Structure formats: C-alpha cells, structure tokens
Amino acid sequence: MKILVTNDDGILSPGITSLARCLSVLGHVTVVAPDRERSAVGHSLTLHSPLRAEEIRPGFIAVDGTPTDCVHLGIHGLLDTRPDLVVSGINKGGNMGDDITYSGTVAAAMEATLMGVPAFAVSLVGDSFREEDFAGAADFATRLAAVIAKNKLPPDTFFNVNVPACVPRGVCITRQGKRTYEDVLIEKRDPRGRKYYWIGGGELGFQDIEGTDFNAVHSGAISITPLHLDLTNYRSFEALSVWGLETIQTKTFEEGAD
C-alpha cells in the first residue's frame, strides 16, 4: 500500500509520528502535514497565497498550510503516485458530534474522499496524551487500514474514528452525536480597558444518547462513525413540500425602474 498521513496538530506532533511508524508495516508511508498546529481550521483551502513544502526528514514533508492543503499537495504534487489510503491523525483530543465541522483532522479525510481516495480520521480522546496511548490508537488505526484495504469503503464515505485513552471496551459503529454549549465565550479587558474575547472557554458537554460517538467513547469503546459527503437533509423534503418554495420567482425590474 501507498499511504498518505496528515493531521492538524502539526508535523512535530507525537500522534503523527506514532501513526506513521505503525502504518509502515502495511506499505510505504509519506507524511505531508502542516508545519505548525492548525487545529479547528475546518475544511479551509489556501487560495490567495503560495504554499511552501519542505522535507524535514525522509518521508516527512512540512507544508505552511492547512490539512486540506496538505492532502491537495500530497495527491497532486508531492507524491510520485496516487495513494491507496489517506489517514489523518492521531489528533490530540476527540473529534465528535458537532466538533467535526471545525476539525482540520476530519476535513483532511473528507478532502481525500472528495478526490476519490479512501480515508479515515483518527483522534485520541482524553486530557493527557501519553506515548503508550498514541501507540494503542496507532495500532488500532493500522488494523483498521488493513480491513479497509480488504473490504473497500462504501462510495463517498469516510470514517471518523475516536479512541479513548484507556484499554478499549470493544468497537462500536456510531452516529454523530450532539454537543451542549454553555458559556463558550470568555470576555476580558486588556490593560488599556479594551475588551477582548476567548472562544472555547467554559464547559463543553454532550448529550449522552445511545448509539452516538460520545456515548460509545464515554463507555470506554472505540467509536467509528461513517460520514457521507452528501449533506442533504432528505428527511426535510416532505415538510418543505408544503411551503410552496418552487413557486417563488425572482422579481424582475423593467428597464429604467427604480
């Protein structure tokens, strides 16, 4: 296998090193990752400035861009051949529920899927990140990669994997959970009396609903959530059909009208 590894914690993160080392038993691994931490950048793509890539050691290429940029450069410019698999991680902290919309780790796997390359994202859930915890998550990611290579992912689908920082109590196929947000904005004043804000403060909880990623990890299990590129809410079609939206027309103005 030819495997492209990336992340959003930066190329020096211990998670990406552990992941690349473990995946190497399956084939040739190339790491293309941001040169610094780019957490919570989502699915952003750099369009208005050039990107630079530097091989900091054999097989490890640092890019001054986002995780999405790294996947683009890896597939279209930096690798000699198209990869068989893209693995994004191991993220320091979970990417579950609504958080996946912000996650650069998940976005990298999504970008690979858009390009027709099988992919999954993997995150380590916990407050402290020991080397042995990353090693356990990397081992699971490697075994999952082998299963994906054998069975093939469903069309337009990628996996979002969250591994608890403990001895896992099994593996669950889950659906995306739901966060609860309270006081996530902190307001302070600088020495000159001007206000400034920190986003992400306060308590972040989750709705402990059976079958969700949060529930699985909270119970000590590894969560695998299959995500689909199509964001259409098909269940809303029937409700919206009575709105008569198809009858709305753009107002046209006669020439010279105000």
What pLDDT band is residue 59 in, cutting at 50, 70 and 90? very high
Q: Which residue has the higher pLDDT, 103 or 256?
A: 103
User: Has residue 76 got a pLDDT over 80?
Assistant: yes
Q: List pLDDT tens digits, range 2-21.
A: 999 999 999 999 999 999 99
Task: Tell me the pLDDT of the chain averaged across its residues.
Answer: 91
**φ and ψ at 185, to 5 degrees?**
-120, 125
Q: Where are the beta strands (DSSP E) in 73-156?
A: 85-92, 119-125
Cα–Cα distance, 33 to 115 (Å, whole number): 18
Q: Which DSSP category does 79 fall into?
A: S
What is the crossing angle of helices 131-151 and 14-23, to 10°?
40
Mean pLDDT over 28-49 rounds to 93
Q: Which residue has the higher pLDDT, 200 or 145?
A: 145
2-178+208-232, CATH topology level: Stationary-phase Survival Protein Sure Homolog; Chain: A, (3.40.1210)
List the chain domain ranges: 2-178+208-232
Structure confidence at residue 202 (pLDDT): 57
Cα–Cα distance, 185 to 208 (Å, whole number): 23
Q: List pLDDT tens digits, range 88-114.
A: 999 999 999 989 999 999 999 999 999
| Nearest Cα to Cα of residue 30 among 66, 65, 67, 71 | 71
What pLDDT band is residue 129 in, cutting at 50, 70 and 90? confident
Structure confidence at residue 256 (pLDDT): 52
Q: List pLDDT tens digits, range 148-207.
A: 999 999 999 999 999 998 888 899 999 999 887 666 778 899 999 999 988 766 556 788
Structure confidence at residue 180 (pLDDT): 76
Mean pLDDT over 223-243 rounds to 93
Distance separating the N- and C-terminal Cα atoms of the chain: 64
**φ and ψ at 159, to 5 degrees?**
-100, 140
